Structure 1
Amino acid sequence: MPHRPENPDQDAQWRTAGDRIQNLLDASAAGGVVARERAEQLAREITDLYGAGLERMLRIAVSTHPELADAFAADDLIASLLLVHGLHPHAVERRVQDALDSVRPYLGSHGGDVALLEVDGDVVRLQFTGSCKSCPSSSVTLELAVEDAVRAAAPEISTIEVVAAEPAAPVIPVDNLLRRVRTHAWHPVPDLAGLAPGEVGGFAVGGSTVLACRVGDALFAYRDRCGSCGESLAGAALHRRMGAGGDVVLRCPRCHAHFDVVHAGACVDGNGSADAHLEPVPLLERDGVLCMALAEQETVA
Structure 2
Amino acid sequence: MPEQEFDRTEGWQAAGARIDSLIGASASGGPVARERAEELVRVVADLYGAGLERLLELLHERGVLTDEMIDAVAGDDLVAGLLLVHGLHPYDAVTRIERALAGGEVELLEVTADGVARLRLPGGHGGCGSSSEKLRRAVEGAIEAAAPEITAVEFEESPADTAPAVIPVSALFSRLTDTAGASGAGAAVAT
TM-score (norm: length of structure 1): 0.47
Structure scoring higher RCO (CA < 8 A, sep ≥ 6) equals 1
Name the residue aligned to 1:152: 145
What whole-Å deviation, never above 9, does each CA across 1:5-45 have from its counterpart, x for those lacking one?
A: xxxx6332011211111111111111111110110011011
Percent identical pairs in the alignment equals: 50
Name the residue aligned to 1:96: 97
Higher Rg of the two aligned structures:
2
- Number of aligned residues: 152
Match of 2:119 among 126, 129, 132: 126
1:147-296 equivalences under 5 Å are 147-166=140-159, 168=162
Match of 1:18 among 16, 19, 43: 16
Name the residue aligned to 1:36: 34
Q: CA deviation at 1:130?
A: 3.7
Q: Does 1:117 align with 2:109?
A: yes
Name the residue aligned to 1:75: 76
1:39-58 equivalences under 5 Å are 39-58=37-56
Q: CA deviation at 1:73?
A: 0.7
Aligned partners of 1:125 and 1:163 also within 8 Å:
yes
> Counterparts of 1:81 and 1:12 in 2: how far apart (Å)?
15
Aligned partners of 1:131 and 1:138 also within 8 Å:
no
- Structure with higher strand content: 1
In the superposition, relative to structure 1, how do residues 46 and 132 fare at CA in structure 2: closer, same or farther (>3 Å)? closer
Q: Which sections of structure 2, spanning at least 5 residues, go unmatched? A: 1-6, 164-191
TM-score (norm: length of structure 2): 0.73
Runs of 4+ in 1 over 2 A off after TM superposition: 9-12, 130-135, 166-169
Any idea what SS the aligned residue of 1:129 has? coil
Any idea what SS the aligned residue of 1:146 has? helix
> Counterparts of 2:78 and 2:25 in 1: how far apart (Å)?
26
